[in-house]
Chain A
Amino acid sequence: MVKFNTICRTGQERSTNADITKVYRNPNPKVHPLAHAREYQRALVATKVEKIYAQPFLGALNGHSDGVSCIEACRFNLSKLVSGSYDGEIRIWDIPSRKTLIQLNAHQQMVKGVSFSRDGMRIVSSGEDKTINLYDFPQLLEQSNNTFQEPLMCYLSKGTLGNVDHNYQLPQFATAGQVVQVWDYERPKAIMKFQWGVDSVSCVKYSPADTNLICGTSMDRCIILYDVRAESAIHKVAMLNKSQCLAWNPIEPLNIVIGNDDSNCYTYDIRKMELPTMIHKDHISAVMSVAFSSSGREFVSGSFDRTIRIFPFNKGFSREVYHGQRMQQVNSVSFSGDAQFVYSGSNDMNIRIWKVNASQKVGIINQRESNATNYRHALKEKFKYNQEIKRIAKHRHLPKYLMNKKKQRQEMKESKNRKLKNAELNNPGQYEAPKPEKQQRIEQFIQ
């Protein structure tokens, strides 16, 4: 008896045309020759294609007649954005249609800060004319045709005002300025005042976890942490340069990021403010504004050198840089609620909308597409330390003036280091070892 079991392939296996064709896979490496080289080639192609599809700029909201000084995206509603400008005008935008919903002549002078309440019902704005306006958001939307809308409440401050930030839970808000003041909706005067030192505070932010903590950056180059219950400040750190802006990490609320005038961003742990935990270096001019994404993993910073940069929360260098030919100094930045878009308000009277992942498709992504993008992402991650691929992935175009400035700075830094080295070599024992950089930036820590 002879019995044979051989391969018989008949061809088409599907019963009708509507059926899908069956796909056979064999993971045996003998069936896949040159697997390493092909995978590497696929990774190379994936990085190149990512660069080809990197089109981060989506659109601009124009309408302001003077530079935009502050913006904030609504946490409750993804499509609303409020912005204040140098001529005292506040506009509320509908982002999908790129149109102004409500236009308000809020202040006589520059609008210093705007803030949404966390439930999206109220808007607070502070102006250089020492007034704070409180608006009712739903009411504004109802009467959107009327440009002469009255605020719900108007508070007068004795000293000059800076930023305003709304409390996460209570109907209260805090303002920066000559003194840090905490206001309540009901009271016409501030219910609490903090002062440490003579100088004014430029930016105040509430902690997202503990609503009794406020952190502020002051004009005497300090970062101060206040406690509302104790009605006093806890401690402060004096740095070498003045800080302009502040943001709390929403997922790790013990960390804050501040943007400094020496073009760096510093991450501090509020429990231990003697040293910064991380220095984020990549900007070339003063950092005007910082904002965290709701994932807590990235933050965006807009600076005086007309660029915005997206930093990962734990790395020292930026992941992405966005710049526009017509974008002037960026005054304020904000993340959208779903952490997919970044808004930047700048001196050229425009608010620009950017994508967070420059090569991501905006729209509905079906299953096969997302599988393919995940595969490509995994390939890029696997080969990201390879020289050729790293060079392509790292490359970002910068405008000429920025490139020149950057090179200049690098040269200066290198020459400094070289001189230190030479001095040490030639005069051994006379020079102390230089302090670690994190220590260098801090002047003193005061309880």
Chain B
Amino acid sequence: MAKDKILSAKLKQQELKSKSTQLKTQKIAQLLEPQFQQSVEIDDERPLLKISNFKDYLPEENVQNIINLKLRQGPYKLSVTPQTTYLVGESGHIAAFNWRHKQLECEFDVKEKCYDIISIAQRNFAVAQKSCIFIYDPKGVEVHKIRECKQATKLEYLPYHFLLAALNQNGQLTYQDITQGKIISTYRTTPSGLCLKQNPNNAILGIGDQMGVVRMYAPNTGTSLTSMLCHKGGVMSMTFSRDGNHLITSGSEGTVKVWDLRTQKLQSQIGVNATNLALSDKGILAAGRGTDIIMWKNCLIGDLKTPYLRYKASSMICDIDFIKHEDYLAMSTFNTYEQTVVPESGEPFYDTYEQPELQNKKQRLETNVRQLIEKLPPESISLQSYRIGTIDRTSKVIIEKEQKKQIEEQATKKIRKQKKKMRGRNKIGKREKLKELERDQKQQVKWQEMLSDALRVKRAEKEKKKIETKLLDRLEQMSSKEFIRVVS
């Protein structure tokens, strides 16, 4: 008992210490916070703005980054990082370019149907093609061919666990470890999965299906961790907020709903038909439908009544995404790639150690190594990620039960072989007797065989004789005339 008291006192002390240091760092951070605030000041009371109107008022660097690229035919899928964009078209056209420095990194044609693209560690990218998933170099050189995932249509990458998740048309979800090339787990999810998205706070994958249900998956468990009935129709698309507390889904019946994930209850909704959703760092929601994009501000805190901005693309929108730590929204349409400015959407203060794309070469080399060393095990993925390393406060009863189970399992494993007991049973006399018996038996077998052989021979002779005598008798019976006939 005394030991427990001391230990619990020490643990209490530790907790207090960590809490007080947290408060202190928060205070210091507040004091040292850089004084940059994004803002939009408008004199007239125009609630809706079209981005095309205010191009003249933007600073030059932002104007330079407004891009409109014409691409070949085929709906294009998108993956953006703070330095590069990766595009893949359904016809097989793959391109990667640095939008910041306006440099093309690689462009090639695969001549195969491609479904999805995602950027992976160290500037590689993975493409879900019809035959299998391929991983390419930053220069476009094919590095790996993943045959285990067949006909994957959706890809997602967990950066801290180095896991590539691929969702099939049949609902097969596979997790693959990129550093080792091992498949961590595969299992079947819903057969009608429509969209796949990662919760960045948890590393949990959410899959929305045609029944309107959103299910959460982790690599450890084969079944879903939780499920929420979100829509009456199918779930067209979904996004998570970066702190993992909110989920925004859009249904085919024409609603966009904001859910609070801690209580799993609806927070707000609006009747907008949206095929694509994207959420920025600061909580600006962009919903794409057809060629239009509507954006709302403060969707997580307030309601979705008044939209913030509108944008009209040149053709049907396929994929949209906000660029992290920048005020840009990137979208890929049927035949273009477009990038526009959305003020107040990005988080201006980034952490150098979290964003390898915003580091210089030396820093990046170091982070490559450090990230690999600190790779998280896939077993640690759970809904409550903050519980790792904290004290297990389950009741004693449950802990004892689990311990008993473990002991039982171990006991069943250790089944000892029964040793043959020979004490007092191996006397010389007995051994000799056994030997003699064996010898006799062998001899008997031999003799029997010999006997049977002899018998066989005798019988054969007997039969021969019989046949001969029969013939002779016949011959005697037959008349002489017939004999002559037979002979001649």
Chain A complexes with chain B: yes
Interface residues of A (CB under 8 A from B): 1-12, 21, 23-34, 36-43, 45, 382-383, 385-386
Given contacts A2-B42, A5-B38, A6-B62, A37 and B54 within 8 Å (CB-CB) = no
**Which residues on B sit within 8 Å (CB–CB) of A385?**
7, 10-11
The listed residue (B40, B202, B348, B389) touching A7 by CB distance below 8 A is B348
User: Can you list 30 A-B pairs with a CB-CB distance of less than 8 A?
Assistant: A2-B42, A4-B39, A4-B54, A4-B57, A5-B39, A6-B327, A6-B343, A6-B344, A7-B325, A7-B326, A7-B327, A8-B59, A8-B62, A11-B101, A21-B360, A24-B350, A25-B352, A25-B353, A26-B347, A29-B243, A31-B347, A31-B349, A31-B350, A32-B354, A34-B202, A34-B376, A36-B389, A45-B374, A385-B7, A385-B11
Chain A's nearest CB lies how many Å from the CB of B162?
Answer: 12
**Which residues on B sit within 8 Å (CB–CB) of A31?**
347, 349-351, 354
A37–B385 touching, CB < 8 Å: yes
B380, CB-defined interface residue at 8 Å: yes
A33–B242 touching, CB < 8 Å: yes
Query: Nearest 8 A-B pairs (CB), nearest first?
Result: A40-B389, A8-B61, A3-B41, A26-B351, A27-B29, A5-B39, A1-B43, A26-B349
**Which residues on A sit within 8 Å (CB–CB) of B351?**
24-26, 31-32
Given contacts A6-B58, A26-B349, A37 and B42 within 8 Å (CB-CB) = no
B58–A24 touching, CB < 8 Å: no
A34–B203 touching, CB < 8 Å: yes
**Which residues on B sit within 8 Å (CB–CB) of A45?**
373-374
Which residue, A9, A45, A386, has most C-beta atoms of chain B within 10 A? A9
Nearest chain-A residue to B349 (Cβ)?
A26
What bracket does the count of chain B residues touching chain A fall in?
Answer: 35 or more
**Which residues on A sit within 8 Å (CB–CB) of B343?**
4-6
Give bound CA distance, A379 to B388, whole Å: 14
Nearest chain-B residue to A389 (Cβ)?
B389
Give bound CA distance, A33 to B160, whole Å: 9
The listed residue (A5, A8, A34) touching B385 by CB distance below 8 A is A34
B412, CB-defined interface residue at 8 Å: no
A41–B376 touching, CB < 8 Å: yes
B54–A41 touching, CB < 8 Å: no
Give bound CA distance, A39 to B375, whole Å: 11
B38–A7 touching, CB < 8 Å: yes
**Which residues on A sit within 8 Å (CB–CB) of B380?**
37
B469, CB-defined interface residue at 8 Å: no
B14, CB-defined interface residue at 8 Å: yes
Chain A's nearest CB lies how many Å from the CB of B317?
Answer: 23
Nearest chain-A residue to B57 (Cβ)?
A2
**Which residues on A sit within 8 Å (CB–CB) of B374?**
38, 41-42, 45
Nearest chain-A residue to B382 (Cβ)?
A37
Give bound CA distance, A122 to B202, whole Å: 68
Chain A's nearest CB lies how many Å from the CB of B165?
Answer: 16
B193, CB-defined interface residue at 8 Å: no
Give bound CA distance, A40 to B388, whole Å: 7
B18, CB-defined interface residue at 8 Å: yes
Give bound CA distance, A6 to B389, whole Å: 39
**Which residues on A sit within 8 Å (CB–CB) of B385?**
34, 36-37
**Which residues on A sit within 8 Å (CB–CB) of B58?**
4, 6
Nearest chain-A residue to B43 (Cβ)?
A1
Nearest chain-A residue to B25 (Cβ)?
A27
B389–A383 touching, CB < 8 Å: yes
A30–B243 touching, CB < 8 Å: yes
B26, CB-defined interface residue at 8 Å: yes
Given contacts A5-B38, A26-B349, A382-B14, A33 and B376 within 8 Å (CB-CB) = no
**Which residues on A sit within 8 Å (CB–CB) of B352?**
23-25
Nearest chain-B residue to A22 (Cβ)?
B352
B350–A26 touching, CB < 8 Å: yes
Chain B's nearest CB lies how many Å from the CB of A224?
Answer: 32
Give bound CA distance, A330 to B347, whole Å: 63
**Which residues on A sit within 8 Å (CB–CB) of B350?**
24, 26, 31
A2–B201 touching, CB < 8 Å: no
B331, CB-defined interface residue at 8 Å: no
The listed residue (B54, B200, B387) touching A36 by CB distance below 8 A is B387
Give bound CA distance, A23 to B348, whole Å: 14
Nearest chain-A residue to B62 (Cβ)?
A6
Interface flags, B206-230, vs A, CB<8A=1, else 0: 0000000000000000000000000
B286, CB-defined interface residue at 8 Å: no
B341, CB-defined interface residue at 8 Å: yes
Nearest chain-A residue to B375 (Cβ)?
A41
Give bound CA distance, A385 to B200, whole Å: 29
Interface flags, B355-396, vs A, CB<8A=1, else 0: 000101001000000000111110010000111111000000
B265, CB-defined interface residue at 8 Å: no
Give bound CA distance, A43 to B388, whole Å: 12
With A24-B350, A31-B350, A36-B388 known, 15 other A-B pairs at CB within 8 A are: A1-B41, A2-B42, A4-B41, A7-B346, A10-B61, A21-B360, A21-B363, A23-B352, A31-B347, A32-B354, A33-B242, A34-B202, A37-B376, A37-B380, A40-B388
Nearest chain-A residue to B341 (Cβ)?
A6
A38–B160 touching, CB < 8 Å: yes
Give bound CA distance, A1 to B352, whole Å: 36
Chain A's nearest CB lies how many Å from the CB of B311?
Answer: 16
